[in-house]
Structure 1
């Protein structure tokens, strides 16, 4: 058996810390499995080192499927614009979510759409072509 680790870049924890100090909410949205995503988020400083899921209603770490089910996906308003179906549940995700694992480009789009619907500024970064909604 061989173990492989792809370490995060050295500057990442400091950059995340600077974002937090500036009042920027940092969320990690990744295709990785939840255990890997949590480990990386802890290493990056997005999750506290001692974080553990606090029960079924804890939205701090979710999978893409859980997120889509919880917020109901997207609908269209009377002008034909995309909107999140269950905005009240989305607000809970907005307030709690730090890691979205096993996510798809659609999940990223739903997240960006919901945040914009609530008049938040959205910025994204990534290292792949599917990292933009």
Structure 2
């Protein structure tokens, strides 16, 4: 956990454009509603949209309306600050309270790796 936090901080400082390409939260539907918000535990309430908190890198909001969520997407630096904290929480597996996605073994490690693999080759060289 502490290693991924240090990696993320280094990326944020030296290449902030890359930070915005990893662990981007998503809306329930493209173009409408709010983005999921990073938190210490997933509480992504799909019944009313008042809780759109996720603890999984790049997770999707479970509801398009309600008072929860954010008007802009959260990215790697937000994931580190709100979900991983100092590296002692949610790595490699997320914590779960309610809603989706439910925790699965190594879900955050897999999600971060998936986002890094999806970067173009020039960005991958910088990250390496």
Scaled by the length of structure 2, the TM-score of the pair is: 0.28
Q: Which has the larger radius of gyration?
A: 1
Q: Higher strand share goes to which structure?
A: 2
